[in-house]
Amino acid sequence: MPDADKIQLLPGTLEMLVLQTLIFGPRHGHGIATTIERTSGEVLLVDHGSLYPALQRLEQAGLIASDWGTSEHNRRARFYKLTRAGRRKLAAETGKWEKVVRAVTGVLRAPREQEGA
Amino acid sequence: MSRTNDEYEEEIREHIEMEVRDNLERGMTPAEARRAAARTFGNPGVVRQKLREGGPWYWLETLLKDVRYGLRLLIRSPLLSCATVLTLTLGIGINTGVFTVLNGMLLRARVDKSPETFAHLSPQYSGDPGQPALPPTVSVMDYRAYRGARSLHELAAWGIGNSTLGQDDPVRWLVMLTSCNYFSLYGLDQPRLGRLFRPDECATPGAAPVVVLSEELWRRRFDADPQILGSVIRLNQQPFTVIGVTPARFSGQLKGPGIYVPYTMQAPFYGGRDFFRESAMQWLTVEGRLQPGETRASAQAELNVIARQQDRLQPGRKTTVFVTNGSFAAEPSSGVFWMAPLIMGALTLILLLASTNVTMLLLSRAAARQREIAIRLSLGATRQRLLRMLLTESLILASVAGAISAWIAGRVPTTMEKMIVGMPHYPMQPDMLVFAYLAGVTLLAGAMAGMAPAAESLKVDLTASLKGQESLFGSRRSRTRGFLIGAQVAMSLVLLVGAALFVRAEFTIFSENPGFETRQVLLIPLRIPLPPYTPASAAAFYRTLEQRVRALPGVQSVSFASSPPFSSDEGIGPGEELRGPGQPRGTGLKASVNVVSPDFFDTLRIPIVRGRAFREGETPVKGTASPVVVSEAFARTMWPARAPLGQGNDPLGQAIQDPGGDLFEVVGVARDLKSERFGAVDRAFVYFLRSPQAFGDTMMARFQGDSVPIQLAVRNLIREMDREMLPRIGTIQTAMDNFAALFWKMAEMVLFLGAVAIVLAVVGIYGVVAFAVSRRTREMGIRMALGATRADIVLSVIASGVRPILFGLAIGLLLALAGAAALSRALRATPIGLDVHDPIAYLTVSLLLVSTALAAMFGPALRAARADPSQALRQE
C-alpha cells in the first residue's frame, strides 16, 4: 500500500492500540506492529521504531510486563503481556475513546442531516 | 524493571530480522527486503535516543556527564576554582558555624543524655491582673504535686543561688540547689570523688548540710585537694560538709566552677527564708523524663489537670503548664522569634556577599563561553539541558565548600570552648538539623552563584554570537557591582584597622617597659572580712603577715598599695582633684591617687627624681601637713617651669590640698610610670602615705630568684594565720601576661574577620575586573591596533576598577575612625590603651588594601594587554 494513504496516529493513541493488541495474549514487538497494521486495514501507520519508546513508557507505568521468550521461528524475542492495571486502563481508555468518536462523528454528520431535513 | 540498552538493541535487531523474513515471504529479493524493513522501522538512532531518554536512570546518566564535564572545566582553571571554593566556604562556613551555635544555644536542650525523653516544665501564670506577673517557676508545693504525674518519672527540681566560699572571698560562686535525683536526670551516675546526694538528704528541710563541688571549683579553689571529702566549708557563713566532686565533663545546667547543695538547704542562699514553710513561693525549675510511650503533649495534659487542682489551693492563680524539650526556643515567650530574623538576616547577607562575588568570578568565564554555548544550541541541545549543565558546575563548587563547612561545623564546640572561657555548657555537636541547614545553604549558594552566569551564557543571540559580534557593550549592572565592591573594601578596611590597633596594643604590652619592676614582685591581694575580724585585729593581721613575709628568705622588700599596677578591678577612675592652698574648688588638678606604705618606691624600684621618698616609719599625723610624693607629670602640670616670676615653681616644699581640705607637703617627685594603661604614660599621680593602721590593701613583695617557692611560702603563711583565706598570688608580670593572653583572643577574632573580609573583597575585585576585561577584548584589540601600548591597556583596565576601591577606602576610613573611637571608649575601664589616631595603622592597612586590590586587578589587566590585537579582533 502506498505511504500516502497511511494516517499519522494521534498522540497517545499508539499506547491504547498496543494495549488492545495484547488483550488476546503475549506478543513480541514485531507481532504488535504487524497486528496493528493488519487489523487497521493497513491504514494506521506504525513507524515500527516508534513502537519501542511507547512500550518503554507502558512498561514503566506498569501497564504491561515483558520477558524473553522464543518466537515462532525459534529465535529469542521479547514478549509483552498485559498486567491487571493495563487491562483496567484499556477498558477505561476504550470507553473514553468511543465517547470521543461518537461525539466527533455526531458533529461531522450533523450538516448532512440538516441538508437531508 | 529497568532494562539495559543492550536488551533493546537486541530486540530492535530481532524486529528488523522478522520484518526482513516477512518481506522475503512476500517475494522480495533479499536486498529489497532489507531496504523495505529499514524503511518500515524508521530511524533506529532516533529510537535508541528516545529509549535512552525514557529510561529510569537517564537523569543520573546526564548528571554524571555534567559532573564529569564540570570537573574537567574546574580542573582546567585551578586558580579560579580555588578562589570560588574559598569564597563559598567563607560564606557557607560562617553561616553553618553560626547556625551550629544558635542551634546549640536556642534550639536544643542543655542535656547530653537522651534529649528525646527530656521534659522541661514551663508554667505560665495568669490571674489577678493587679498583681505583678509571677515568674515561670514552680513552688515546693506544686513540685510535690507534679511528682504524682504518671506520664513522667525522675522529676527533678533546681533553683539557683550564689554564695561566698570561706571568709575572704570577693567572688560569689554559683550554687545549684537541686533535688537529690538531679544528677541522674542529667545522666551523671559516677562522681569524680566521693558520692552524690542520697534521697534521704532531700527528705527534711535543713537537715543535711552537705555539698558537692564541681571538678573545676575543686581544682581552682582547693588546689585539687585529695583530702577534700569530709572537710567543712562555709557557704554564706554556714558550715557544709563536702561529700563529692562532679567530673569536669559533667555539665547539666552549669559548667565550670559550681557548687551543688540539696534544695532542702535553700535558706542560707535566699536570705534565710524557708521556702519549705512558705511553700507557695515559686523558685524551682522542674524537669523530668517521659515514661516510655508518653509524649510531651500527653504529659502536658496530665500536668495541667494537676495544676488546676493546685490552683484551687491558691485562689486567683490560673496555671497553664507547657512541657517543652528544654530548649530556649521552645520556651513560651522566649523572644527567639524576633531575634531569629535578625541573626538569619545577617547570615543571609554574608551568604549573599559570597555568592555575589562568586557570581562575578563565574560571569567572566560565562561571557567567554558564549561561543561554546551557541555551538551547543545550534547543534540541538535544549536550553534546559544546558542550564542544568551550567548549574551543575556551580553546585560542584558549592558542594566542595559545603564539605569543608561540615568540617568547620564539627570544630565549633572546641573552638567555642577555647574562645569563651567559662561559657555555659551547650550541646554544640552538629546534629541532623545542622546538616540539613548546611545542605540547604550549600544548594542555595550554588544556585545563587550559578544562576546569573548560566543566564549570561545562555543569553545568546545565536547568529551574532557565532559570528562573534556579541558583547561589545555590556554591564548595565556595573554600578551595582561597583557599589558592592566599595562596600567590601570599606568593610575590610574597618576590620583590618581594628585588628591593626589591637595588634599594636598587644605589642606594647610586651615591648614597653612600664618603668617599674614587674618580674620580681609578687602581688598578694588580701581581703579581710570585717565580721569576724575587727578593725584592730585586721590591722594586726596585716602587721604580722608583713613581718613574716619580710622574714622569708629571698624577700627583699615588702610594701602595701591601695591600687597596685594594672590590677584595679573597677578600672581607671576619674581621680581626685588636688589644689594649691587658696586655689578655688574646681580649678585644681585631677590626679590618680595611690595610698602607699613607705617602702613602696623601693619595692617597685621606682626612681625618685627630686627630693626623697617616704622614710621608714614615717606616718601621716592628723593636724600637720603630711608628706606626699607626686609624679613628674603632676609636678609639670601643677607648677609649670615657666610660671610667672615670684611664684615658686620648685615642687619640693609646695603645699597641696585634697578634696577634704587636708594639707600635704610635697617631699619628692617620682618618675612617671606606665602603670594605668599598657604603653601609655600615666597622667598626674599623687602618692599619699599609708597609715600603719590601714587594712584592705594589696601587699607587694620584691624577691630574688624563682617566684614559685616564694609564692608557696607566702600562701602557707597566710593559711597558717587563717585557714579560710585563699588569696591569688602571682607576679605583676603574670597578671600582665594573663591579661595580654585574654586580650589576644579578642585581637585574634578581629584579625580573622579582617582576613575573611579582605579575601572576599579581593575575590570580588578580581571577578569584576576579569569580567569587564573579557567583555572588552574587542575594544582592547582596536585600541592596540590603533597604537595603544600594553601599558596603556593595563592602566585603562586598572583605572576602570579603581573608582569603587577608592570610594570604599574613603567610606571605610571614616567608619574605622568612628569605630576605633567607640572601641576605645568601650575599653576605657581596662588597662588597654588603644592609640585611636595611630596614623601608621590606618596607612598600613590602606596600603595593604590598595596593593592587594591592584594585585587582584593586575592579572586580568595583563591578560588583556597580552592579547594579540589581530586575534582579539578576529575572535570577537
pLDDT tens track for B138-174: 888 899 999 988 999 889 999 888 888 876 666 778 8
Test A34 with B22 for CB contact under 8 angstroms. Answer: yes
Test A29 with B15 for CB contact under 8 angstroms. Answer: yes
| CB neighbours of residue B327 within 10 Å | 23
Query: Could you tell me if B9 lies within 8 Å of chain A, comparing CB atoms?
Result: no
The set of residues, in sequence order, having a beta carbon less than 8 Å from that of A73 and lying 6+ positions away, is B18, B21
Helix axes B336-368, B732-775, angle to 10 degrees: 40
Q: How far apart are CA B331 and CA B323, in angstroms?
A: 9
Query: Could you tell me if A48 lies within 8 Å of chain B, comparing CB atoms?
Result: yes
pLDDT band at B756 (very low <50, low <70, confident <90, very high): confident
Work out the minimum CA distance from A29 to partner chain B, whole angstroms: 7
Test A30 with B19 for CB contact under 8 angstroms. Answer: yes
Contacts of A29 in chain B (CB under 8 A): 11, 14-15
pLDDT band at B340 (very low <50, low <70, confident <90, very high): low
Is it the case that residue B778 has pLDDT exceeding 80? no
E-strand stretches of B281-418: 282-290, 317-324
Contacts of B8 in chain A (CB under 8 A): 52, 56
Among B234-243, B350-359, B388-397, the least confident range = B350-359
Q: How far apart are CA B133 and CA B700, in angstroms?
A: 52
Interface confidence (ipTM) of the complex: 0.82
Average pLDDT taken over every residue of chain B: 80
Give the model's pLDDT for residue B767.
Answer: 78
Phi first, then psi: give them for residue B4, nearest 5 degrees. Answer: -80, 160
pTM above 0.90, yes or no: no
Give the DSSP H/E element, type plus range, for residue B486.
helix B478-511
pLDDT tens track for A36-74: 888 877 777 667 888 888 888 888 888 898 888 888 878
DSSP 8-state secondary structure symbol assigned to residue B281:
-
Q: How far apart are CA B435 and CA B163, in angstroms?
A: 42
Test B15 with A50 for CB contact under 8 angstroms. Answer: no
Q: A49: nearest CA in chain B?
A: B41
Give the model's pLDDT for residue B715.
Answer: 83
| CB neighbours of residue A94 within 10 Å | 14
Give the model's pLDDT for residue B420.
Answer: 65
Test A30 with B18 for CB contact under 8 angstroms. Answer: yes
Selected residue with higher pLDDT from B127 and B401: B401
Report which of B4, B16, B45 is spatially closest to residue A68, judged by C-alpha positions.
B4
DSSP 8-state secondary structure symbol assigned to residue B201:
G
Q: Which DSSP string do the residues of B87-132 spell out, in sequence order?
A: HHHHHHHHHHHHHHHHIIIIIS-S--S-GGGEEEEEEEEEE-TTSP
Query: Could you tell me if B38 lies within 8 Å of chain A, comparing CB atoms?
Result: no
Nearest CB among B1, B21, B42 relative to A48 is that of: B42
pLDDT tens track for A4-47: 556 666 767 888 888 888 888 888 888 888 888 888 777 776 67
Give the model's pLDDT for residue B470.
Answer: 38
Among B172-176, B196-200, B458-462, the least confident range = B458-462
pLDDT tens track for B105-140: 777 777 777 888 889 888 888 765 555 566 778 888
Nearest CB among B7, B47, B55 relative to A49 is that of: B47
pLDDT tens track for B257-297: 789 999 999 888 887 888 888 888 888 889 999 999 889 89
Task: Give mean pLDDT, residues B52-60.
Answer: 78
Work out the minimum CA distance from A74 to partner chain B, whole angstroms: 11
Test A56 with B51 for CB contact under 8 angstroms. Answer: yes
pLDDT band at A1 (very low <50, low <70, confident <90, very high): very low
Q: Which DSSP string do the residues of B590-635 spell out, in sequence order?
A: EEEEEEE-TTHHHHTTPPEEEE--PPTT----TTS-EEEEEEHHHH
pLDDT tens track for B525-554: 887 777 678 888 888 888 889 899 999 888
Nearest 5°: CA angle at B690, between B684 and B696? 105
Work out the minimum CA distance from A96 to partner chain B, whole angstroms: 26
Give the model's pLDDT for residue B468.
Answer: 43
Nearest 5°: CA angle at B562, between B557 and B563? 95
Give the model's pLDDT for residue B209.
Answer: 92
DSSP 8-state secondary structure symbol assigned to residue B262:
E
Give the model's pLDDT for residue B701.
Answer: 92
pLDDT tens track for B584-603: 777 788 888 888 988 899 99
Test A57 with B15 for CB contact under 8 angstroms. Answer: no
pLDDT band at B471 (very low <50, low <70, confident <90, very high): very low
Test B19 with A48 for CB contact under 8 angstroms. Answer: yes
Test B8 with A52 for CB contact under 8 angstroms. Answer: yes
Q: Which CATH number fits domain A3-116: 1.10.1040.10, 1.10.10.10, 3.40.50.2300, 3.40.50.2000?
A: 1.10.10.10
Q: What are the structural domain ranges in chain A?
A: 3-116
Report which of B673, B721, B727 is spatially closest to residue B696, judged by C-alpha positions.
B727
Query: Could you tell me if A56 lies within 8 Å of chain B, comparing CB atoms?
Result: yes
pLDDT band at B211 (very low <50, low <70, confident <90, very high): very high
pLDDT tens track for B779-803: 777 788 888 888 888 888 787 778 8
